[in-house]
Amino acid sequence: MAATEPVNLSSRVRLNQGTEMPWLGLGVFLSEPGRPTEQAVRWALEAGYRLIDTAAMYHNEADVGRAVRGSGVPREDVFVTTKLWFTDHGYGSALKAGRESLERLGLDYIDLYLIHWPRAPTPEARLDTWRAFEVLQKEGVCRAIGVSNYTVRHLEELRKHSSVFPAVDQVEFHPWVYDPEFLEYVVGHGIRPEAYSPLTRGRSLNDPIVGAIAKAHGRSPAQVLIRWGLQHGIIEIPKSVHRERIFENARVFDFALSSDEMRRLDALRGGPRVTQTDPSTLP
């Protein structure tokens, strides 16, 4: 399903708004603000990662920006994503929040700005937020705009009321929350799916099926789960603050899962989510 098969950490996929985004990056959700986040980002950039994913709600945007600026890696080579928290839905609030995120990052622009959740006071407020995102993109605050935790229903709302469709929909996605119908919809409409919590925050790394596949390849369970997502055409942003894990998670381009192994992992669907909120329950 991948538009082009990623072959290394430098591989990128072209988004529907013209920019190119790396296939694999570092997520910093629950990374402690300050030195822990800054050090994790520096290690990731040292390992060759060129995608860093943060959010206003993580309270570590400034640390991400500091690490990027001090890394020695050219700014244009690093793809930085951040997100608007749901309390900032609404036209004026979203404009203010986007500009403040850019200021905290201390960068010239945000590569990808996402609506973190579709949770909003009203559907109209949600659409007003998207209108603000279009303005922020035109102003150069961000180069691409997208959403997170949007279901097909939420995406259809945008499709009916906006001429700009999201470049990315970032959702919880791993074998236990595998939704082929959602995947078919977003890919069919030119939206790139991106997986947060692809390692289930460690909760399912001891699964016997994952373990058996990992053993067969001489790999870790985490590497198997990341590889599964990549082979489904999904951008992956595993989180870690440990140098050895950050480097290990990047070593997923020199092996491939067989079609049978992919089917075995796909069959795990229907398991529990790691996020407390199911987006399908949001109006």
For the chain, which domains are there?
Answer: 12-269 (3.20.20.100)
Say which of 58, 113, 150, 178 is annotated catalytic.
58
Question: pLDDT at position 276, please?
Answer: 82
Give the Cα separation of 129 and 91 in Å (integer).
5
3-state SS, one letter per residue, for 245-281: HHHHHHCCCCCCCCHHHHHHHHCCCCCCCCCCCCHHH
Asked if 6 and 24 count as a contact pair (C-beta separation under 8 A), the reply is: yes
* Burial tier of 186 (Cβ tally within 10 Å: 0-12, 13-18, 19+): buried
Give the Cα separation of 272 and 150 in Å (integer).
18
Is 58 an annotated catalytic residue?
A: yes
Give the pLDDT of the chain (283 residues) as one tens digit per residue.
444 679 999 999 999 999 999 999 999 999 999 999 999 999 999 999 999 999 999 999 999 999 999 999 999 999 999 999 999 999 999 999 999 999 999 999 999 999 999 999 999 999 999 999 999 999 999 999 999 999 999 999 999 999 899 999 999 999 999 999 999 999 999 999 999 999 999 999 999 999 999 999 999 999 999 999 999 999 999 999 999 999 999 999 999 999 999 999 999 999 889 988 889 888 8
Asked if 59 and 69 count as a contact pair (C-beta separation under 8 A), the reply is: no
Q: Quick one: DSSP state of residue 32?
A: P
- CA 228 to chain CA mean position, Å: 15
Question: pLDDT at position 50, please?
Answer: 98
What one-letter code names the amino acid at 48? G
Asked if 31 and 42 count as a contact pair (C-beta separation under 8 A), the reply is: no
User: Which are the contacts of 233, defined by CB distance < 8 A and separation ≥ 6?
Assistant: 1, 2, 3, 183, 187, 193
Asked if 192 and 232 count as a contact pair (C-beta separation under 8 A), the reply is: no
